[in-house]
Structure formats: structure tokens, C-alpha cells
């Protein structure tokens, strides 16, 4: 695993995020415990920021207000991404219009006019990703490495400062 701030690694972070809809977004509950819930990713920016929509009276919003440290975990076919950052809640209509996607309509049938709907911005500070060739190739490489008593080479793992 390497750690750096390369443009290539940042692009990989965005590509992985753009291909995944559901994120497990983790906040700190009032008792200090970690709390994760699935959230539909609305937008992933080139800077590593992630955008979601939520109800303004939901626990996630109050938890971010009390402690903005968050983590977003995403998993796709052969790719995994963990983004650590700061959560910010926005009630800005222009932001909601920009990030709104059809998946948000399922939760907010009145669209951005749904009372209390907010945008959640995860400002990425660092990200770690694992970008692999897919399940079948990973399995074959893992079995081959085991037979050869070697560590399998199944993809790229990097940490990038955002």
C-alpha cells in the first residue's frame, strides 16, 4: 500500500465512487459509538467530496451537527473505497438542484420541495481504495499464489490525501 496525493489516485477514487450507488455512511452517535447506515450517493466530485440527501430531522443530520467526523465506505465489483472526512449539512436549494438524482425521488416524492430535505456533503480528507480485477480473476490469482506459497497480487491498494 502506498500513500500520496497523486492526481491518478484521486481520479481512481472518483471513478470507484461514481460506479457505486449505495454507501455505508458512518457517524458518531450521541453515546460515542459508531453508527453506519446505507445512503444513496448523489454525486462524487473530482476533489473526493461525496454528496447525499437526507431528511433534516434524521439522526444522521443531528449526529453530524454534534460531531462532523464521518467515514463513507463503498464496495463495488472488484473495487472498495473508504473516504474519511468532515460532514456538512446544507439546506441550499441550488445545491439540492445540482446533486438531485432519480434515486432521491424514491425517498422524497415531492423532490427538492419535500419539507426538510437537506444535502449532506462529505468533504474528503483522505481515502483508501482497493481496485482489483474482479471476483473470478481474484479467486484464480489467490489460488495460484497459495499453491506457489506467495502473497496474491490481486489489485492496487493506495491511500490518498484529498
74-95: pLDDT as tens digits: 998 888 999 999 999 999 999 9
**Which pLDDT value is given to residue 136?**
47
- Written as nine digits, the cell of 56 is 433534516
Rg (CA), the chain: 18
Give pLDDT, residue 37.
98
pLDDT at 160: 86
Tell me the residue length of the chain: 162
Q: Cβ–Cβ contacts within 10 Å for residue 63, how many?
A: 19
CATH architecture of 2-161: Roll (2.30)
Q: What are the residues facing 82 on neighbouring strands?
A: 73, 128
Which 8-state DSSP code applies to residue 155?
-
- Picking from 103, 131, 112, 113, the residue whose alpha carbon sits closest to that of residue 43 is 103
Per-residue model confidence (pLDDT) at position 11: 86
Domain-by-domain residue ranges, the chain? 2-161
User: Are 124 and 85 in contact, with CB atoms under 8 Å apart?
Assistant: yes
User: Which segments of 19-153 does DSSP mark as H helices, in order?
Assistant: 59-66, 93-99, 102-107, 135-147
pLDDT at 127: 95
The predicted model scores a pTM of 0.83
| Three cell numbers, residue 50 | 461525496
Report pLDDT for 1.
46
- Residues lower than pLDDT 70 in the chain: 1-5, 133-145, 152-154
Beta carbons of 81 and 50 less than 8 angstroms apart: no
Which among 41, 23, 56, 25 has a CA at the least distance from the CA of 100? 41
Amino acid at each position: 500500500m502506498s500513500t500520496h496525493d497523486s492526481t491518478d489516485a484521486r481520479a481512481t477514487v472518483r471513478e470507484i465512487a461514481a460506479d457505486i450507488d449505495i454507501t455505508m455512511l458512518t457517524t458518531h452517535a450521541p453515546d460515542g459509538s459508531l453508527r453506519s447506515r446505507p445512503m444513496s450517493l448523489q454525486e462524487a466530485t473530482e476533489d473526493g467530496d461525496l454528496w447525499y440527501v437526507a431528511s433534516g430531522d434524521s439522526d444522521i443530520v443531528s449526529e453530524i451537527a454534534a460531531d462532523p467526523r464521518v467515514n463513507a465506505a463503498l464496495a463495488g465489483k472488484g473495487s472498495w473505497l473508504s473516504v474519511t472526512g468532515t460532514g456538512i449539512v446544507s439546506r441550499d436549494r441550488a445545491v439540492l438542484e445540482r446533486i438531485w438524482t432519480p434515486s432521491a425521488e424514491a425517498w422524497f416524492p415531492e423532490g427538492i420541495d419535500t419539507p426538510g430535505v437537506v444535502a449532506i456533503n462529505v468533504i474528503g480528507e483522505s481515502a483508501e481504495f482497493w481496485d482489483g480485477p474482479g471476483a473470478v480473476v481474484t479467486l484464480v490469482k489467490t489460488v495460484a499464489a497459495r499453491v506457489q506459497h506467495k502473497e496474491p497480487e490481486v489489485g492496487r491498494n493506495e491511500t490518498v490525501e484529498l
